[in-house]
A and B are shown apart, each in its own frame.
Chain A
Amino acid sequence: EVQMVESGGGLVQPGGSLRLSCAASGFTFSTYWMSWVRQTPGKGLEWVANIKEDGSDKNYVDSVKGRFTISRDNTKNSVYLQMNSLRADDTAVYHCAREKLFTASALDSWGRGTLVTVSS
């Protein structure tokens, strides 16, 4: 069974940092692009970043460029999101998701997410 489990969320002060982790299982992790998508409580979805199978290509939404870094470790079947200089508007549930092969970023499996709250 394909599964993604996120961890690392929590309460952090504005300007602080957090590192999110996503542990994947049930598929050949090294052959898939992976994404992070966030959802503000009660609101919609926002794509945050994605990373190529081998980590050689990364993309970010403008609002997090220079502050967030996506990475992966294919030996651990894991993808990470390092979040620095956090702001109140980064508060959201962060999901990792797998990009369906041979599609333009259709996300075919999602984790349940981890909540990040940025507040003093």
Chain B
Amino acid sequence: DIQMTQSPSSLSASVGDRVTITCQASQDISKYLNWYQQKPGKAPKLLIYDASNLEKGVPSRFSGSGSGTHFTLTIISLQPEDIGTYYCQQYSTFGPGTKVEI
């Protein structure tokens, strides 16, 4: 089974900061990596699919990159509404999540 790890597990940043979250797969998964944002009490929301494709309606300050085993989600200018937990996913496996606070 493929294992997914994320780092950091949590972070605190200021409004306007550049934030980077990393997701590592235990084996090569090509480009098949998705990113989600979850706010408290809400269902997850798809942000990025296939490693680098921005889902419709998601602000352009979010971007994804990577392939193989190493992937990153970047928020180029953190906004107050970006607080929440971010998860990576490869098919049937989710990463453990990264909690983002302001």
* Interface residue ranges, A against B (CB under 8 Å): 44-47, 59, 61-62, 95, 100, 103-108, 110-113
Contacts and interface: CB of A to CB of B under 8 A. Distances in A.
Nearest to B92: A47
A22 B12 CA distance: 36
Interface stretch (B13-21, B41-49, B71-79): B41-49
13 contacts: A44-B94, A44-B95, A45-B36, A46-B94, A47-B89, A61-B92, A95-B43, A95-B44, A103-B50, A105-B91, A105-B92, A108-B46, A108-B55
Nearest to A100: B49
Contact of B93 (A47, A59, A106, A113): A47
Interface of B: 1, 32, 34, 36, 38, 42-46, 49-50, 55, 87, 89-97
Contacts of B95: 44
Contacts of A47: 89, 91-94
B96 A111 contact: no
A19 to B, nearest CB: 21
Given A44-B95, A47-B91, A107-B44, 7 more contacts: A45-B36, A47-B89, A105-B89, A106-B34, A106-B49, A106-B89, A108-B55
A104 to B, nearest CB: 4
Given A44-B94, A45-B94, A103-B49, A110 B43 contact: yes
A100 B50 CA distance: 11
A45 B90 CA distance: 12
A112 B49 contact: no
Nearest to A46: B94
B97 A44 contact: yes
B46 A107 contact: yes
Given A106-B50, A112-B43, A44 B87 contact: yes
Contact of B44 (A61, A62, A104, A110): A110
